[in-house]
């Protein structure tokens, strides 16, 4: 499983809207996780790490599709 901190620091290198999007998503996921009872804090953090990993995977797939569409349009 990918660590949220790894992705956060990686995104900060680019200093663009991605950091803002990620921060909003993180805050939303954190708020959702707080609604559930967890036996310990590490279970909550594991779930947050998992959800952030899903976010990054979805974002990566979206960017690949956008780039392919852009390349296809440029080749016309």
Specify the pLDDT at position 1.
39
Specify the pLDDT at position 10.
64
Model confidence at 9, in pLDDT bands (50, 70, 90)?
low
Query: Per the structure block, which two tokens stand in for 52?
Result: 């952030």
pLDDT digits (tens, 9 = 90+) for 54-69: 888 887 887 788 788 8
**Domain limits of the chain?**
4-74
CA distance 32 to 51: 11
pTM of the model: 0.54
Give the mean pLDDT of 6-30. Answer: 69
């Amino acid at each position: 499983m990918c660590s949220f901190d790894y992705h956060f620091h990686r995104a900060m290198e680019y200093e663009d809207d991605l950091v803002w999007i990620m921060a909003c998503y993180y805050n939303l996921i954190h708020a959702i996780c707080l609604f559930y009872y967890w036996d310990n804090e590490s279970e909550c953090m594991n779930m947050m790490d998992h959800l952030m990993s899903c976010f990054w995977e979805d974002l990566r797939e979206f960017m690949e599709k956008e780039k392919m569409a852009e390349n296809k349009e440029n080749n016309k």
